[in-house]
Amino acid sequence: MNPRVLEAEALAKQQVRDAGATPGDLALSCDVVVVGSGAGGAVVAATLAEAGQRVIVLEEGGYFPQSEAGAMRPSQQLRHLWRDAGMTFAIGVGDSPVINVMMGKCVGGSSALTGGVCFRTPDHVLQTWQRERGLSDFTPGHLEPYFEAVEKRVHVETVTPDRWSSSTLAFARGTAKLGHPLKPMRRNTEGCQGYSRCNFTCPVGAKLSVDVSFLPSAFRAGAELYAHCMVDRVTHRDGRATGVVGRVLNGPRHAPGGRLEVKARRVVIAAGAYHTPLILQASGVGRASEQVGRNMTLHPGFRVMARFEERLDGWRGALQGAWSDALEHERITMTALFLPPGVLAATLPGIGRAHRLNAELIPYLGVFGGMLHDEGGGTVRRGPGREPLVTYRMDPRDKAALPTLMRWMAKAWFAAGAKEVILPVLGMAPVTADQLDTLDLEHVPGQMLESSSQHPLGTCRMAHSAEAGVLDSDGQAWDLQELFVADGSIVPTSLGVNPQLTIMALALRIAERLRERPLPE
Amino acid sequence: MVPRVPNALVPPSTLAALRAVAEAVFSDEQGPPPAARIDWVLVEFEDFLTLAGSRARLVLRAALFAVTVLAPLFVFSLPPLRHLSVAKRVLALERMEASFASAAVLAVKAFLCVLYYEHPDVQREVGYVGRGHDTRVTP
């Protein structure tokens, strides 16, 4: 086990408290309360605690040390660490698929469940932010020191081809033949041994997610984290945030129990693009702009799988070792991935004998993913119960790019020697190279597409005015002083690449500005 | 290993409905897989559903209900699905999987697969070397 993980676990033992273990109300006070312990919240907590501020972090999920979580089976991880046990969906509206949106609900948030992929915000995306959102500060040069600092802290390294999985190597052979060699991925890992289960916690602690990188710094500086605390809304007085209230999640099923109240001089919400807008809506924030919960982008992802005659054992090697921008002109980014056999089997067509025959092919399967740099079209609303109701209307331009995604990736697989390709269309049998050319992919209904997402963004976006966005360029709510947001919800547009590094860099920028700003009395 | 949570949220009828689907999905020429494996899946299912939260419980139960009621209609039989022979269940689910109602089948099948393929015997059969994680059965 990575010594950094063991050190993080020792610190967490002292500073993490399971609020849900004790019945009754919980009342606390501090300088800064941070709601959420993922990529945004952890960075803010560490930066402000290191500056001497009294920081309390509230996390809805539980704390699972990596040494414990890394030993869980994927389904155990789903039920303990993932929101809705991995069954969070964005409901497709119109000609759109239902999209499975995966999010963490644990200390470390989704950062603990990523493949570790680290892209900086592309320059052309920053130009869009400047041009369309009026965020003139956001130049590559301005953000450079934040990216550098975060990359150093989480140990971003390049995955060399010798660590690529056999599935990735096979796809690389195909893309090279099409004239587009794969590019090595950058990831926040240290000592990766190629267990290919980053999404389900690295068994040797090689992934330096924020629970290993940033939160230990916060704990060392005195920050406290309370797990199983669900925040409902921000309290405020005279136009200024004064804390948060919610419920402690008690008992083995984490049902809402005692009242939670934290009084703070400053509030930072980092509950993610699904839940931050709910907290803001419940607090009456952003009503003027009517932008809270809107503008959600997802990077809808589509797996294209291939069957080879030789065994690939695609689960050996780095999970996400390479990527391709060969279809950037179509606003598509392709990244390596692999899935546990149960998840792979679930995506294979067939019942009974047909299913079994397909499942026997799992060791012979290669998997690669393509995701859309989408136009958006998602909305988060308060739903019945504790979870939001989320809808997503796929933009026709995004839908129109999907046949290109499927055909190009299928051709790459066939160029690599695949015998059949399995496209992300529900109920569609595997296709051969000859059959591919005859498929009418342009007219597949959106509802028949199989899609997933790990990147909900933009539901409380920053913008130059209160009419155009929910937050100013420092992440502060336009209509409530001392309320800040630092998570994926602030990202002004779709990125087209995995967002965790962008979220961490933006959070660091916000935190460093907060550090210099006097705390209110 | 994470201890199981005592549970009273999964009624026997839900377990029976899931067993009927599992027997069909994982059957082959010899019939359904060993009963002990399905039992294992059902134990895991109970634990999963108990911890998964109300939204996930609702989604799974709705999908299972849809499959139980709708699938028999695809082979011109009356529900529930569990009253059909395994062979007829396979045919019904195949037809439903290729229909407008495929999402419900996919949801239940996906959930079953995630659990079933974690069984150590099944992993051995598939040839998966599940390095780095605990393959012990939840007690």
Q: What is the pLDDT of residues B46-105, one digit of tens each?
A: 888 888 778 788 888 999 999 999 999 999 999 999 999 999 999 999 999 988 888 899
Note whether A74 contacts B118, CB cutoff 8 Å.
Answer: yes
DSSP structural state of residue A263: E
* Beta carbon pairs, A and B, within 8 Å: 161
Distance (Å, whole) CA A281 – CA A113:
27
Residue A131, burial from CB neighbour count under 10 angstroms (0-12, 13-18, 19+): exposed
Average pLDDT in the A122-145 region?
96
| pLDDT value, residue B136 | 38
On the question of pLDDT at A376 being above 90, the answer is no
Ranges A43-52, A125-134, A313-322: which has the least confidence:
A313-322
CB within 8 Å: A79 and B48: yes
Three-class SS state of A323: strand
Task: Indicate yes or no: CB of A203 within 8 angstroms of CB of B118.
Answer: no
* Over residues A117-121, mean pLDDT: 98
A149 touches A508 (CB < 8 A): yes
| pLDDT recorded at residue B134 | 43
- Closest-CA residue of chain B to A68: B1
pLDDT at residue B138 is higher than 50? no
With CB atoms and an 8 Å threshold, state whether A362 touches B26.
no
Question: Is B114's CB within 8 Å of A78's CB?
Answer: yes
Q: Band the pLDDT of A316: cuts 50, 70, 90.
A: confident
**Token pair of A517, please?**
């700003």
CA atoms within 13 A on the CB side of B53: 21
How, if at all, do strands A322-324 and A301-307 pair? unpaired
Q: Would the CB atoms of B118 and A75 count as touching at under 8 Å?
A: yes
- For A311, the closest chain B residue by CA position comes to B127
Phi, psi (deg, nearest 5) at residue A427: 80, 0
pLDDT at residue A287, rounded to an integer: 85
Residue B55 or residue A439, greater confidence: A439
Q: Which among A412, A396, A395, A406 is positioned nearest to A441, based on CA atoms?
A: A406
Q: Do residue B26 and residue A356 have CB atoms under 8 angstroms apart?
A: yes
Secondary-structure breakdown of chain B: helix, strand, coil percentages, each rounded to the nearest 5: 65, 0, 35
* Band (B131; pLDDT cuts 50, 70, 90): low
Residue A211 pLDDT exceeds 70: yes
Mutate to test the interface with A, among B50, B114, B119, B134 (most CBs of A within 10 A): B114
Q: What is the mean pLDDT of residues B117-135?
A: 72
With beta carbons less than 8 A apart as the criterion, state whether A57 and A41 touch.
yes
CA distances from B115 to A342, B28, B30, B118 (A): 7, 18, 22, 5
Element of type H or E holding A31? strand A26-35
The per-residue pLDDT for B139 is 32
Q: Average pLDDT, whole number, for chain B?
A: 85
Cβ atoms of A1 and A190 within 8 Å: the answer is no
Average pLDDT in chain A: 95
Provide mean pLDDT across the span A244-248. Answer: 98
> CB A203 to CB B24 under 8 A?
no
Suggest the residue from A1, A18, A66, A79 to mutate for an interface test with chain B (most B CBs closer than 10 A): A79
Interface of A with B in 166-205 (CB under 8 A): 195, 197, 200, 202-204
- What percentage of chain A carries pLDDT values higher than 70? 100
In angstroms, rounded to a whole number, what is the distance separating the alpha carbons of residues A244 and A480?
Answer: 13
Whether pLDDT at B110 is above 70: yes
SS3 (DSSP) at A229: strand
Residues in chain A closer than 8 A to B50 (CB atoms): 253
Q: Which of residues 9-48 of B touch A (CB under 8 A)?
A: 24-29, 44, 47-48
Q: What mean pLDDT is predicted for residues A251-265? A: 93
Cα(A352)–Cα(B72) distance, integer angstroms: 16
Answer whether A318 touches B (CB < 8 Å): no
Q: What is the DSSP string of A206-260?
A: -B--TTTTTHHHHHHTT-EEEESEEEEEEEEETTEEEEEEEEEEETTTTEEEEEE
Predicted confidence (pLDDT) at residue B135 exceeds the cutoff of 50: no
Q: What is the dihedral of CA A276, A279, A283, A289, to 10 degrees?
A: 40
Per-residue confidence band for B2, with pLDDT thresholds at 50, 70 and 90: very low
Phi, psi of A205 (to 5 degrees): 70, 35
Shortest Cα distance, chain A CAs vs residue B113, angstroms? 5
Query: How many residues are listed for chain B in this entry?
Result: 139
Tokens at residue A243, please? 């804390």
Burial class (CB in 10 A: 0-12, 13-18, 19+), A454: buried
In this prediction, residue B132 carries a pLDDT of 47
**CB A72 to CB B60 under 8 A?**
no
pLDDT digits (tens, 9 = 90+) for A346-363: 888 889 999 998 888 889
Give A-chain residues touching B41 at CB under 8 angstroms.
none
Residue A342 at interface with chain B, using a CB cutoff of 8 Å: yes
pLDDT in tens, A174-207: 999 999 999 999 999 999 988 888 999 898 999 9
